[in-house]
Amino acid sequence: MTEQLRMMAVHAHPDDESSKGAASMAMYVDRGVDVLVATCTGGERGSVLNPKLQGDPWIEEHIHEVRAKEMDAAREILGVRQAWLGYVDSGLPEGDPLPPLPEGCFALQPVEEAAGTLVRLIREFRPHVITTYDENGGYPHPDHIMTHKITMVAFEAAGDPDAYPEAGEPWQPLKLYYNHGFSLERIKALHEAMEQRGLESPYKEWIARWEESDRKPREITTKVPCGDWFEVRDRALIAHATQIDPDGPWFRVPLEIQRDAWPTEDYELVRSLVDTTLPEADLFAGIADAVGAAKISERA
C-alpha cells in the first residue's frame, strides 16, 4: 500500500481559494491528491462586489449563509474538501485614520491561540504540503495577514509533541508555500499578449500603479503547469456570486491567451523538509520518494 498525497490550502475568506491556486488544486485532485481548503473566516463583513446583486436587502441580511452556500458550490466544482476555522471576518478598514478593527474579529485573536485551531486541523488531515499567503497577506487585508501568521506558527508546531498536546497526535507537514497569483511578471505577460492581438488589456492601470509603488517582486520558485484547469478555476470563482461579476475584469483575458502567455500558477517555497531542486514544477517535488507515497499520475 502507498500513502495518498495530501495538500492543505489555508485561506482567509470564502472565494480566496478560487482566486488563488484554484487551478492547481483542481489539477491535483484530478491526479489523485486529497486537497483540503481551510477557510479561516465566514466572510461576513465582505461587501457585495457583484453589481448585479448589490442592494438586495435579503443578501445583506443573510450574507454569512449566502457566502457559506457559495463556498459549498465552489468546493464541489474544484473537487476539494473544505473546513471552517470558525473565526469572524475582520472587514477591510478604510479611512484616514483607519478605524479600529471590530471587537472579536479574526485579526484581533491571539496568534498562538488561533494557530492552535489550525494545528488541530493539520493533525487531523495530515497534509504533506501547505499553501498560504506571504507576510503581506498577498495584499494588506488584516485577515490575510493573520492567516499568514497562524499558518507559520501551525506549520512548525503541528509536528511538535510538546506544542498543543490537546490538539491530537503530532503531524509534520513537509513543505510550505506562499501562493503568488498576481506577480508583476505574470500581469505584464498577459497585458502584452492582449495588446499583441489588438485587444484591450485590463491591466494597464494595474501595471502603472505597481511600478509607481515601492512593492518588491517576490521570488517565484515553483510554477505549476495547470492551464487545462483554468476553466474549472473560473467556474469556481463565478460560484462566489456575491463577490465575482462574471462580466467583470477577472474574465477579460480569454482562456486561450492565458494558456499561451502564462499557463502556470506560481508559488514561493518557504520551508522544505525534503530534498528538492529549484525551480520546481510540482508542489510535491521530493515528497513521494521521501514518504513512500504514490507519485502524482498524469491525467488520462
Q: Which domain holds residue 190?
A: 184-217
55 lies in the same domain as 204: no
Mean pLDDT of 108-128: 98
Q: In sequence order, what are the residues at sequence separation of 6 or more whose Cβ sits closer than 8 angstroms to the Cβ of residue 135? A: 145, 148
Burial (CB < 10 A; 0-12, 13-18, 19+), residue 39, is: buried
If asked whether residues 131 and 57 sit together in one domain, one would say: yes
- 256-287 pLDDT per residue, tens: 999 999 999 999 999 999 999 999 999 999 99
Cα dihedral across residues 200, 206, 208, 211: positive or negative: negative
Are 19 and 32 in a shared domain? yes
H/E stretch holding 178 reads strand 175-179
pLDDT at 260: 98
Q: Which one is predicted more confidently, 201 or 139?
A: 201
In a domain, 300, yes or no: no
The predicted structure's pLDDT at residue 182? 87
Residues 52-109: tens digit of each pLDDT: 999 999 999 999 999 999 999 999 999 999 999 999 999 999 888 889 999 999 999 9
- Please say whether the beta carbons of 190 and 145 come within 8 A: no
91 lies in the same domain as 130: yes
Whether 13 has a binding-site annotation, put simply, is: yes
Whether residues 200 and 233 fall in one domain: no
Domain presence at residue 135: yes
Regarding whether 164 and 238 lie in a shared domain, the answer is: yes
Please indicate, yes or no, if residue 224 is contained in any of the structural domains: yes
Same domain? 145 vs 273:
yes
* The pairing of beta strand 264-272 with beta strand 222-225: antiparallel
Pair 208, 176 in one domain = no
Listed range (27-36, 75-84, 200-209) with the worst mean pLDDT: 200-209
169 and 261 in a single domain? The answer is yes
Confirm or deny that 16 is annotated as ligand binding: yes
Q: What is the mean pLDDT of residues 9-32?
A: 98
Start-to-end CA distance of the chain, whole Å, equals 22
pTM of whole model > 0.75?
yes
Q: Is residue 205 part of a domain?
A: yes
Domain count, the chain: 2
Question: Has residue 1 been placed in a domain?
Answer: no
User: Is 72 a known ligand-binding residue?
Assistant: no
Residues 130 and 207 in one domain: no
Same domain, 69 and 193: no
Instruction: Report phi then psi at 160, rounded to 5.
Output: -95, 115
Helix or strand holding residue 115 (H, E): helix 111-125
- 86 neighbors 262 (Cβ within 8 angstroms): no
pLDDT at 90: 97
